[in-house]
Amino acid sequence: MPGKVIVITGASSGIGAALAELVAGQGATLVLVARRDAALLAVATRCGDAAYPIVADMTLRDDVRRVVRETLARFGRIDVWVNNVGRGITRYPSELTDDDVDEMMRINVKSALYGTQEILPHFKSRGEGHVVTISSILGRIPFAVHRSAYNGAKHFLNALIANFRAEVGQSHPGIHFSLISPGPVRTEFGRSALHGGPDSWQLPDAQSAAEVAAVIAGVIDSGRADVYTRPGYHARVVKYFDELGQDPETRR
């Protein structure tokens, strides 16, 4: 971790802010990116001299390009790019509108697509780099039906990162792609979901943002490809798909 230049998007609160504070203490040099300037500056201040804030919207490709340019101009390189922009929704699939689906894809998928595409030329020029993308257990098991379009967006995101890994790995094996899948996390995610929704702080078995940040920091060090933030999540995913493959009469 010491000496790595890490760009963290969605860094003004929640998982992004917790990760920033953690890796700043481990000796990383940070570029923190978010839309909310006051909140972002507060996180950067807590991180100290290690952090450089950039106000930008990761759903706008021109803003993403500006973050890459400004970071390279200031630090000369980027070692790790963290895709951490996301938003939930509270709406059942039968109720979804075009705008609901477009918003979930714009925030949860396009932000990561733009970030990954725009950092790749730099990583390819160096022959190394690490893209870390924060997904969700709902991108594996869509059990929260009221999150419908969010679940779908995270499934799309998982496939996208897997395809990036397969494509880039053929020519640039030194570039790594990691996918992180948390469950419920005690952040503002629930309260800020499109159309409102349950408060994430009240959900059973919710992790703290600091716990999830510790897992992400471990992945930055290890380069592991696909990581769940709680023991038992992998087994839960396997069980879900095993049960889908059973005879319907058996599942009753």
- The per-residue pLDDT for range 192-246, each reduced to its tens digit, is 888 987 776 677 788 899 999 999 999 999 999 999 999 999 998 999 888 888 7
Cβ neighbours for 39, distance < 8 A, ≥ 6 positions apart: 12, 13
Q: Which amino acid is at 228?
A: Y
What are the sequence ranges of the domains in the chain? 5-251
Contact between residue 74 and residue 53 where contact means Cβ atoms under 8 Å apart: no
State the CATH architecture for 5-251.
3-Layer(aba) Sandwich (3.40)
Residue written as token pair 């804030």: 53
**Predicted structure pTM score:** 0.93
pLDDT of residue 251: 53
Catalytic residue ranges: 150
Kindly give the residue spans of alpha helices, DSSP state H, lying in 58-110: 61-75, 98-105
**CA–CA distances in Å: residue 194 to residues 23, 87, 98, 191, 209:** 30, 7, 13, 9, 21
Alpha-carbon gap, residue 82 to 230, rounded angstroms: 20
- The per-residue pLDDT for range 142-154, each reduced to its tens digit, is 989 999 999 999 9
**CA–CA distances in Å: residue 250 to residues 119, 204, 235, 245, 247:** 48, 29, 20, 10, 5
